[in-house]
Amino acid sequence: MTTTYEGMFLLDNQAVRADWCQAKAMVTDLLGKNGAKVLCARRWDERKLAYPIKGRTRGTYLLAYFEIAGTGLNGIRRDFELDERVLRYLLLKVDAIPAGEREKAAEEGADGYVVPPPPTDEAISPERAVFGDLADRPIQEHLRRNTPAEADAGDGAEAEVAEAAAAEES
Amino acid sequence: MAESRKPSPPIASRHCDDPKIDYKEVAYLQKFLTPQAQILSRKRSGFCTQCQRELKAAIKRARHMGLMAFVQ
């Protein structure tokens, strides 16, 4: 007896940018390998993540509906845990495919479909991909604290005070 | 004697027979979070027991998928 499941997969944007069709095929192939029958699959959205996941600040979500017998689900979970291109996944049992999902998936599968370009606000530098918002902070601000120059200046000021005290005594 | 603070009215306007709360409706779920991203209590959300459980599950699923923050 088969059950219908909804699968939401958060994909690494590097794999998605290289080739969306290949990234989608990777997910559907893994599902098919474990005996699932993919009913429909489509690109749900590309979003900025609420918190960094494996160093990524953005990701593309793939929404798929598939049928599988209960025993095959463990294999699917294992495969997606091992695949580094899948950052997160969520499998939920559903009664039926929501209305309109098949049509949206068919639109994407049709010829002439163009993957929407990434938002213009992205412009992620390699530093930003690793450090997130910290990358925008000027580096000099961190270096300015306790620099050798300041330490020298501090010693110099102390020496001046000592010299002034000695002059007063004399 | 200090005046007691007037409680804010519940914000949910939902019937229990409505379709289940979906974790993908992030804008809707955001309404039931405090500014620190904690889930509102049933008293403040205005949900019944079953709906509050659905809300909790939906928010936790959205958090797991990186759609919503655990803490802000």
Size of interface A-B (CB pairs under 8 A): 29
Q: Is residue B21 part of a domain?
A: no
What residues have CB less than 8 Å from A3, skipping those under 6 apart? A67, A68, A69, A70, A93
Rounded Cα–Cα distance for residues A25 and A32 (Å) = 10
List chain A residues with CB under 8 Å of B66.
10, 47, 49-51, 53, 59, 87-88
Q: Is residue B70 part of a domain?
A: no
> What are the pLDDT digits (tens) for A23-69?
999 999 999 999 999 999 999 989 999 999 999 999 999 999 999 98
- Are A51 and B64 within 8 A, CB to CB? no
> What strands, in cross-sheet order, belong to the sheet with A56-69?
A37-53, A56-69, A2-12, A86-93
Q: In chain B, whose CA is at the least distance from the CA of A89?
A: B65
Q: Is residue B2 part of a domain?
A: no
Write the residue in A44, A49, A92 that is nearest to B66 by C-beta. Answer: A49
Q: Is residue B20 part of a domain?
A: no
Q: Decide which of A119 and A38 is more confident.
A: A38
The predicted pLDDT at position B8 comes to: 73
Mean pLDDT of B37-43: 92
Number of structural domains found in chain B:
1
Locate the DSSP E strands across B1-72. none
Among A38-47, A115-124, B33-42, B55-64, the least confident range: A115-124
Looking at this predicted complex, what is its ipTM? 0.83
Q: Which of A66, A74, A55 shows the shortest CA–CA distance to A27?
A: A66
Q: Is residue B55 part of a domain?
A: yes
Report the run of H or E that residue A48 belongs to, with start and end. strand A37-53
Rounded Cα–Cα distance for residues B72 and B66 (Å) = 13
Q: Is residue B37 part of a domain?
A: yes
List chain A residues with CB under 8 Å of B65.
8, 10, 61, 88, 90
Query: Which of B64, B67, B70 would you mutate first to test chain A, the one with the most A CBs within 10 A?
Result: B67
The class (CATH top level) of A2-118 is alpha beta
User: Which residues in B have their CB inside 8 Å of a CB on A?
Assistant: 23-24, 61, 63-70
Quickly list DSSP for B51-69. Answer: HHHHHHHHHHHHHHTTSS-
Q: Is residue B41 part of a domain?
A: yes
List chain B residues with CB under 8 Å of A53.
66
Rounded Cα–Cα distance for residues B47 and B7 (Å) = 16
Write the residue in A10, A44, A92 that is nearest to B66 by C-beta. Answer: A10
Among A58-62, A129-133, B41-45, the least confident range: A129-133
List the structure tokens of A98.
């929501």
Q: Is residue B12 part of a domain?
A: no
The predicted pLDDT at position A41 comes to: 93
